[in-house]
Amino acid sequence: MSILVDEKTRVAVVGITGKAATFHARHCISYGTNIVAGVRPGKGGQTFDGAIPIYDSTAEAVAIQRANAVLIFVPPPGAADAIGEAIDAEVPLIVCITEGIPSNDMFLVKERLLHSRSTLIGPNSPGIISPGKTKLGIMPSYIHRPGRVGIVSRSGTLTFETVLQLTKGAIGQSTCVGIGGDSVHGLSHRDVVRLFNGDPDTDGIIMVGEIGGEDEEDAAEYVKRYVKKPVAAFIAGTTAPPGRRMGHAGAIVSGKKSGASYKIAALERAGIAVAKNPAHIAETYAAVAGLGPLR
């Protein structure tokens, strides 16, 4: 079992004829992802690689191919509209890879999501993968191993680092979710932790966070109240100066509560084991889960 996606998920790739979308769609297909449609206005009636039909709109892909997830590769000026079109089409899962969507656009998207049937991962996300089943995104699939640890992260690079450490230690993953590093995004750490907590095939959880916002603190409060599964975490940005953005648009210390030390303290108060170094994330999880030393 996994959360949000599995081998039956029917995916439409929005912007499929673009360079990045073409490259990653092919890798998703080779991994086993069930891509049933592409979407590109003006390209309706054509096919992708001679096999996958392309439509002018997401609504057509949903109506004709019964797509229940979209993977969005659209440049920043049009990405919010692409998300909005998927919301209008009542697509259950929207995964947006695009980085640099204007915050004002995303505030409008967030408002629409509140009154919709859609769930958004991203933007500025590497996507989501259920190892051995399906992937919707840009993650290197070869580092993943099927298993029972759920990962939720704001950082794509640190997601890959965490996965590689686990896989080298013979610890597999149930689902890995990159929620995205922008300040305005869809699913939060708390949302994903809640899903993992309810998944009988996820035995433990790893959270990877960073400075900025209060996402990790909210998740820590949820863990403290409801989660009995082992949880480990890492917070990036311990040396970041206040008021300066570091990497992601959301990674800026704008107050005491958004700093790394405050986040780490909140996690530890919730009983979450926090790795002090990114190289020790898997070791920290193995210790709190009682798995012993990694090989």
Kindly list the catalytic residues: 248
Please name the residues in contact with 192: beta carbons below 8 A apart, sequence gap of 6 or more. Answer: 3, 150, 152, 177, 179
In terms of DSSP bridges, do strands 273-274 and 69-72 run parallel, antiparallel, or are they unpaired? unpaired
Q: What dihedral angle (degrees, nearest 10) is formed by the CA atoms of 155, 158, 162, 168?
A: 140
Chain-centre distance for alpha carbon 75? 19
Is the bond into 123 cis (omega within 30 degrees of 0)? yes
Distance CA 115, CA 112 (A): 6
Q: Which residue has the tokens 């809640």?
A: 194
- Confirm if 39 and 13 have CB atoms less than 8 A apart: yes
DSSP letters along 204-249, please? EEEEEEESSSSHHHHHHHHHHHH--S-EEEEEE-TTPPTT-B-SST
